[in-house]
Amino acid sequence: MAELLFWPALLCYGEAAVGYLGDVRRPGLAGRAATWGVRVGWLAQTALLAVQAARDHGFPWGTWASSLALFVWLVVSAYLIWGCRRPYRLLGLAVMPLAAVLLVVARIGGGTGAASVSRYSSAFLVLHVGLVLAAFAGFTLAAALSALYVWEEGRLKTRPATILSRQMPALATLDALALRTVAWSLPLLTLGIAVGLVRLIGRDARFDALIAATVATWLVWAAYLALRVAAGWAGRRAAYLALAGFALVVLVRLALPATHFA
């Protein structure tokens, strides 16, 4: 069953990624088809996660690969909030190829099929993994908004005659949305890390590289929030900082996972 649901989800995400690329060249049908790809793919992946949860009687995302699949679902869910609106379609160009690639990585790691056996209690996993992944999904979206900001700002600077040919969100809107997304995500990460640390201290476990990178990620995003709110950072500088924060999210999600789940 999981097999039957994985492929439609991947195909739809892939179609969406290609569709958004087509939308850049010629706005219209390709963009609409891509948005439907996101919707249908999200439904298929939601069903896949439900099947996994039902099969494993609880929270089946205790492995690195399965949590990556959940992360993809969270990112696409967050994107769907804005992605259906026409001015934000271009966000899909950043989000959907990433979602498709990460879903493939999750599958290669066995996160979308076979039952996962967790060494942790369900309550701990729901709180820790759920909170951290939700925060990372938010950061991913904020980074996509920031990438779109940098791209659009560059276009405004170079003044092409086609600058108004495409319906795009305003720079100020992108900037404000990125800030709002981070303001929601950082408390989630803070709570997720706190739950993890409580567990770590209780079990007298080792402080590994993944935890260190996650704390570094928290620091960057906390700095982002502080600089924006207290020091009045905005615009391109803030967008670059968000992209740096996202680089750490990628590092935590992809480069260092084995040390934590081993």
Partner 1 sequence: MRLVLVGTSHHHAPVELRERVALKREQAQALAARLAEVAAEAAVLSTCNRTELYLAAEDAEAAESAAVGALAELEPEVESALYRLNDRAAAHHLFRVAAGLDSLVPGEGEILGQVRLAHELGTTGPLLDRAFRQALHVGRKVRAETAVGESPSSVSAAAAALAEQVFGGLEGRSILLLGAGKVSEQAARNLRSRGAEIALVADSRTGRDEIAGRLAEVDVVIASTNAPDVVLDAPVVAEALRGRRGRQLLLVDLAVPRDLDPAIRGLDGCYLYDIDDLEGIVSETLAGRRREAQRAEGFVAVEAEKFHEWHASLDVVPAIASLRARAEEIRTAELQKADSLLGRLDDSQRRAVEAVTAQIVNKLLHLPTVRMKQAAAAADGVLYAEAVRHLFGLGEDER
Among candidates 137, 141, 147, 115, which has minimal Cα distance to 68?
A: 137
Residues 53/1, Cβ–Cβ less than 8 Å: no
Rounded least distance, CB 226 to partner 1, Å: 14
Segment 63 to 92, residues that bind partner 1, using CB under 8 A: none
Burial of residue 164, with CB atoms counted within 10 A of its CB: 0-12 exposed, 13-18 middle, 19 or more buried: exposed
Q: Which of 25, 57, 119, 159 binds partner 1 (CB under 8 A)?
A: 159
- Residue 25 in the binding site for partner 1 (CB under 8 A): no
Please select the residue that binds partner 1; options are 4, 108, 163, 205, rule is CB under 8 A.
Answer: 163
Contact stretch for partner 1 (CB under 8 A) within 73-81, 132-140, 159-167, 252-260 = 159-167
Residues with Cβ within 8 Å of residue 53, at least 6 apart in sequence: 59, 60
174 in Cβ contact with 151 (< 8 Å): no
Burial class (CB in 10 A: 0-12, 13-18, 19+), 4: exposed
Residue closer to partner 1 by CB (options 96, 238) is 238
If the CB atoms of residues 165 and 201 are measured against partner 1, the closer one turns out to be: 165
The yes or no reply on residue 164 touching partner 1 (CB under 8 A) is yes
Q: Minimum distance from CB of 18 to partner 1 (Å)?
A: 22
For residues 123 and 107, what is the distance between their CA atoms, to the nearest angstrom? 25
- Of 81 and 172, nearer to partner 1 (C-beta) is 172
Which of 168, 186, 213, 242 lies at the binding interface for partner 1 (CB under 8 A)? 168
Least Å from the CB of residue 143 to partner 1: 18
Residue identified by tokens 């967050």 is 78
Stretch that binds partner 1, among 17-25, 56-64, 192-200, 227-235 (CB under 8 A): 227-235
257, 111, 128: which is closest to 203 by C-alpha? 128
Question: Rounded to 5 degrees, what angle do the CA atoms 229, 150, 81 make?
Answer: 75
The answer to whether 259 contacts partner 1 (rule: CB under 8 A) is: no
CA 77 to chain CA centroid, nearest Å: 9
CB of 229 to partner 1, least distance (A): 12
Q: Are 77 and 49 in contact (CB under 8 A)?
A: no
Per CB under 8 A, which of residues 99..158 are in contact with partner 1? 156-157
Q: Residues in the site for partner 1, rule: CB under 8 A? A: 27, 156-157, 159, 161-165, 167-173, 232-238
